[in-house]
Structure 1
């Protein structure tokens, strides 16, 4: 098993080094936080491959644009002051035509306050790719230290990209584009004298006009017109993927098994739901079992939880593969087909040592059956049985304080638990 897992990691490394995404998975989808950590990490690998491909394409586009600019500058037509394509060039505050770099698309009807040129949204650096585990670690770091360094880095990067795409822009232009609520256009005056942070077309919010400790103004003054593709990456794809490979190589067997088991159970749920009738009584019992498994699978796995999951799964398997036999066995009196009932009892007794088993509840219900109930048809009996079962759902799938004397005592748990995470087993 250890050799097989190492082979899987080696294959993932080969795909990464060749720039090939992991097959049968989305290339550019963000990690699905509803999936297991292993699946999220493989999604991160594919996302990093897609980002590197986009960065390479953007770099080639920028190089081609700069090459075209050098050709245009040597053209006498443009050296004599003729106008150039406004989608590629823009006039700065001094009236010179400057090449726009890292442009994505025009930003609606916005125009620069000082030059009147249209505002273009730049291509921005993408943020970090976060798995559920990394999100939790980041939240703990922020709560513990109060650090917002990552947010400042992203804001500075956005400012530099905006300056590169919009020559002649000012801070007010960036705020109008990046944070519209911090800009008000209701104080425009035709000939009135306007103060700092204001223009004839509007004014900044009070928080943006703070002179001391205004982080936005400090970052704007430090920002240089650099397109995103030329900036230092905020997220290192190579480092992120290498850390994933390091973690996969030393993953504990118990943690790997727990994640693989959740995937297998999910596949089984989907397969079973496709063959069960939507409104049948068996489907309702199946979904009760499914909800129970999901409920006990939220925390770390233990031996008792694993045993319960196995018993519930056997019950679900019996429901799907032999639904008629399951109903017939549940209908039979106690003195008939004892061997079959005992065999089915092992599958239905999944509620744990401190829960009353499903079989014993059903047996009690059968003993309480009135003579009138014996005259009912099998269909009516099935309906009554599952109706009683659904009414007792809360008792079936919840802890009970009082222990009944008829339940067998649970065996002592193993000292090492179900998953001995200290060693891999070599087969």
Structure 2
């Protein structure tokens, strides 16, 4: 579009009443009739002042209507946040480095959080990351989400013009560092250890649980940092596809995902993405254990074949030191013991007196929160408990294979001790002899006719776990997870990354602030505010507020001395000029209707000011 007409139209739009969409549409149609080309940048230029004012009014309405009884943060803390952020510009030197550069090396930058929050909002209608990669070439957040701020729209619209596919990833330090983590985890982690930002080991913090995020400095927060450093949706989608490809490669090569526990069951307090990555690592560990168990079984069979080729009876060669290979049954014959793990101390079979061995068993299925929900719905709908019966039958078969000559009572003593009551021989106790149980009895429920345990025991055959039909298919499970990651909902992905990065950054900051009682008290109130907002469904609408509080928390951690100095210098002057409580009162209806007066009563400004440089 040429000349000054766009600016005249822009001025006309400002003076015209009605909805923003109608104004932009009329402006666009008029421009097209004149033969002009209408681009996303032109639309953004016209719509920005209108949508920005509309969104600010909506934001003020949320604060005013939803929380009229009391402010979310204590008034002293609210005043303190304003004081610190407003003094940032006064104390900043011209030659000082940018705050984001300082923060990102120690605490994840708030700009990354903002980018992820924008991703949540702008991709709600996109079904999968694959679709996002296809649509992102011509995708404009202005067309999709007209309520975004001007800075947010410029970030994506201008960025997408500059996007040059994956070739520009070499300039993205965070992205390349994360790819190094996947391709060379040992080398990356050794370098990462030297600049670790947490003095304590990685673990789920209280904040991580409350926000349903991921453990600090684990894989997901690292991924969130890399994703948040990108400026276009297309780059984000391309980067995600590369991450999934690397995860598939690690799975095929049997290598654990770095930054994820190698053999922990899914932590339901963490986000779904972290749970799914835990499943992948756990499946890799299980396949390794199965390979070891298979090799052990083959070794036992080979040893048994060598013995069978000799003319001597097995008992003459094996007893007493080789009970792990053969077991004597009640008829006196020796039967091969298969799938035995280790011997139980001071425990023998009731009928034969042979030592009891714990079997190598099939492991329970790995359940993430979405699978648990599906399973619960299935059980409620059908009343089926087949999965539990299958696991019990598998344990019985493994126990029979490891303990030839055993009976149901032996299995119950090991598998469910409360269902067995032992009866000791008093004569042996008085003489100091062996106190192992001679006999006992099952519990009442186990003795009832038609008991499920007895029915399963009668059908169970002695089969070691490695030769049973698998109860949980690791290959099928991981393939389903990887397929789901390829088709991940963009909005859901960005939301999980946002919350994980937020909780990780706050945990790092908290570890540095906890030694200062004054700052830590302020920090906890800020943290509680963040938790309260993020646990609500509409936290995206207050993403700027969250980011400003987060920046303030980072300042407390990075430069506590300067924060205290500024607070001491400003407290008297600020308190004499106006009442601190008046700064944070909930806006009245008249203030909400009047943008000029309402702006001073919003909890945080639309554009957070830069924190104090360190």
Q: TM-score, normalised by structure 2?
A: 0.52
Residue 96 (structure 1) aligned to one of 312, 327, 333: 333
Distance 1:184 1:79, change over 3 A: closer
Counterpart of 1:379 in structure 2 is: none
- The answer as to 2:202 corresponding to 1:18 is no
* Residue matched to 2:447: 209
Q: 1:333 aligns with which of 557, 574, 584?
A: 574
1:259-305 CA distance string (max 9 Å, x none): 11122112211332233252432221111111221233235454324
Q: Distance in 1 between matches of 2:464 and 2:579?
A: 70
Secondary structure in 2 aligned to 1:94? coil
Give 1:222-261 correspondences, 5 Å limit: 222-261=459-498
CA RMSD of aligned residues (A): 2.9
Equivalent-residue separation in structure 1 for 2:461 and 2:545 (angstroms): 61
Q: What is the alpha-carbon distance in structure 2 between the residues aligned to residue 276 and residue 79 of structure 1? A: 69
Q: SS at the partner of 1:333? A: helix
Which stretch of the first structure deviates more once superposed, 32-41 or 129-138? Answer: 129-138
CA 281–203 in structure 1, closer or farther in 2 if over 3 Å, else same: same
> Residue 404 of structure 1: CA displacement?
3.0
- Contact in 1 for aligned 2:300/2:325 (Cα 8 Å): no
Q: How has the CA–CA distance of structure 1 residues 247 and 165 changed in structure 2, closer, same or farther, with 3 Å as cutoff? A: same
Structure 1 portions without partners, runs of 5+: 191-198, 337-359, 366-395, 412-427
Q: Hey, what does 1:415 align to over in structure 2?
A: none
Q: Distance in 2 between matches of 1:410 and 1:126?
A: 64
Where do 1:10-409 residues align within 5 Å?
10-78=245-313, 84=319, 85-186=322-423, 201-212=439-450, 214-276=451-513, 278-320=515-557, 321=559, 322-323=562-563, 324-333=565-574, 362-364=580-582, 404-405=588-589, 407-408=591-592
Shift of 1:179: 1.1
CA shift, 1:200, in A, is 6.6
Residues in 1 aligned to 2:339 and 2:473: alpha-carbon distance in whole angstroms: 20
Q: From the superposition, tell whether residues 315 and 4 of structure 1 become closer, same or farther in structure 2 (CA, over 3 Å).
A: same
Change (3 A) 1:408 1:58: same
- Aligned in 2, Cα 1:245/1:115: closer, same or farther, shift over 3 Å? same
Give distance in 1, aligned partners of 2:253 and 2:338: 30
Whose relative contact order is higher, 1 or 2, with alpha carbons under 8 Å and at least 6 apart?
Answer: 2
- Give distance in 2, aligned partners of 1:282 and 1:332: 20
Tell which deviates more after alignment, 100-109 or 148-157: 100-109
Give the Å deviation of 1:220. Answer: 0.6
Moved more, 104-113 or 226-235: 104-113
Deviations 1:301-345 (CA, angstroms, capped at 9, x unpaired): 543242432232233244444513355344423787xxxxxxxxx
Please say if residues 319 and 326 of structure 1, whose CA atoms lie closer than 8 Å, have aligned partners that are also in contact.
Answer: no
Contact 1:125 1:228 in 2 (8 A): yes
Distance in 2 between the 1:326 and 1:140 partners?
A: 55
Q: Report the Cα distance in structure 1 between the residues aligned to 2:438 and 2:509, rounded to whole angstroms.
A: 67
**Corresponding residue SS for 2:312:** helix
Q: Secondary structure at the match of 1:332?
A: helix
C-alpha distance in structure 2 between counterparts of 1:122 and 1:38, whole Å: 33
Give, in angstroms, the shift of residue 97 of structure 1: 0.7
Do the aligned residues in 1 keep the contact of 2:514 with 2:520 (CA within 8 Å)?
A: yes
Residue 152 of structure 1 aligns to a residue whose secondary structure is helix
Deviations 1:13-56 (A, max 9, x none): 11111111112332112222222211111111111011001101
Aligned residues of 1:160 and 1:225 also touching (Cα < 8 A): yes
| Structure 2 gaps, min length 5 | 1-235, 428-436, 596-614
More helix by share: 2
CA–CA distance in structure 1, aligned partners of residues 542 and 396 of structure 2 = 52
Mapped partners of 2:505, 2:263: distance in 1:
27
Q: 2:176 maps to what in 1?
A: none
Contact 1:189 1:200 in 2 (8 A): no
Question: How does the TM-score come out when normalised to structure 1?
Answer: 0.73
> How far apart, in 2, do the equivalents of 1:45 and 1:223 lie?
31
C-alpha change, 1:66 and 1:362, in structure 2 (3 Å) is same
Kept in 2: contact 1:258–1:301 (CA 8 A)? no
The secondary structure found in structure 2 opposite 1:313 is helix
Aligned to 1:385: none
